Amino acid sequence: MRDTRPNALADIARRLRSGDLGGAWAALPRGLQDLAHQADDGLARLRDRLRGPRPGAAPPSPGRFLSETFSGAPGQRAYRLYVPGGYYRGRPAPLVVMLHGCTQSPEDFAAGTAMNALAESETFLVAYPEQTRSANQGRCWNWFSPADQDRDRGETGVIAGITRTVMGAYAVDPRRVFIAGLSAGGAAAANVATAYPDLYAAVGVHSGLCALAARDLPGAIAAMRNGAAGTAPPLPTIVFHGDRDGTVNPRNGEALIAAAGGRLIRRAEGQAPGGRAFAHSLYADSAGRPAFEHWVIHGSGHAWSGGSPEGSYTDPQGPDATREMWRFFQKHPRRG
């Protein structure tokens, strides 16, 4: 068999000489892309810790929190997009799609989760689709509506459309596109990840429910009150839930992990510094790879664990769900 590596290297060199950095990056084998990400990020963090700010150096460029609108066949929604100061088009960045809960807005959700601050330090983009009062009086995502659960239809199609729009307008690593949400947003994230396993690499569900846990409003109320079985996204999944949640029964987090069908690897108890105790369980997929995490926050209610009081529905005393989700996402790029 002919060795094509010299030709591939020549193509990369040609693209670099012509200034086509994006093309050169895309031509690299995925394994080398992963190594470059890890080496560059690690060296940058080490450099910053050892050197500190250089005398007279300009401060880092602040990120931009943009207001955008998506319109397509499934529908139309506004969304906010955070672009970190360290982003540049020559290097594809990860993308995290964040779905707010009922009564929240993208701005409120961004403030409460502090996801933008983490995106600034770790250099990834964050998209926040916005639910409208005309679609739901409480600004909840309609995760229980059949018209909004299927691929390329309703809200599921809109959220995927926003994701694809950002990927088309910015340099996004297609192997590192993730989705997460709180409460109704968590249930919607499970629906979207189930409908689009080819688009997202992993999903985070905080205080939410299984995908397809209900098919109408009475069923949604019953599921929230009592817990309900459903479908797990066919993707690596991290679940957070407070065991004193009076809005969405924590049995729903248990049901989501059970539906994933993972094998328990270990379970450990811990405590956030000066804060709440928690149980953390890690599960393997059918191939034996760690793929599912379940965090149960003792004494916490219906709130984003470790969140900022600047936003609604947050519990600053819990372990930091924002950082833990990002850690989990980093470990689970798309395979293949």
pLDDT at 62: 81
Give the model confidence (pLDDT) of 120-168 as tens digits: 999 999 999 999 999 999 999 999 999 999 999 999 999 999 999 999 9
Tell the burial category of 31 from Cβ atoms under 10 Å away from its Cβ (0-12, 13-18, 19+).
Answer: exposed
State mean pLDDT over 248-259. Answer: 98
Question: Is the pLDDT reported for residue 327 higher than 60?
Answer: yes
Q: Do 214 and 222 meet the contact criterion of CB atoms below 8 Å apart?
A: yes
Which DSSP string do the residues of 138-178 spell out, in sequence order? T----TT-GGGTSTTSHHHHHHHHHHHHHHHHS-EEEEEEE
- The count of residues in the chain is 336
pLDDT-based confidence at 48, cuts 50/70/90? very low
pLDDT-based confidence at 90, cuts 50/70/90? confident
Q: Given CA atoms 258, 262, 264, 265 in this order, what sign does their dihedral have?
A: negative
Q: Which of 24-28, 46-50, 117-121 has the lowest mean pLDDT?
A: 46-50
Give the model confidence (pLDDT) of 275-326 as tens digits: 999 999 999 999 999 999 999 999 999 999 999 999 999 999 999 999 999 9
Q: Do 113 and 126 meet the contact criterion of CB atoms below 8 Å apart?
A: no
pLDDT at 55: 40
Question: Is the pLDDT reported for residue 54 higher than 60?
Answer: no
pLDDT at 49: 41
Cβ within 8 Å of residue 15, ≥6 positions away = 21, 23, 24, 27
Question: How distant is the alpha carbon of residue 125 from its chain centre?
Answer: 10
CA–CA distance, 53 with 47 (Å, rounded to integer): 10
pLDDT at 16: 55
pLDDT-based confidence at 185, cuts 50/70/90? very high
CA–CA distance, 212 with 228 (Å, rounded to integer): 10
Q: What values do phi and psi take at 113, rounded to 5? A: -85, -20
CA–CA distance, 330 with 36 (Å, rounded to integer): 14
State mean pLDDT over 78-101. Answer: 94
% of the chain with per-residue pLDDT over 90: 80
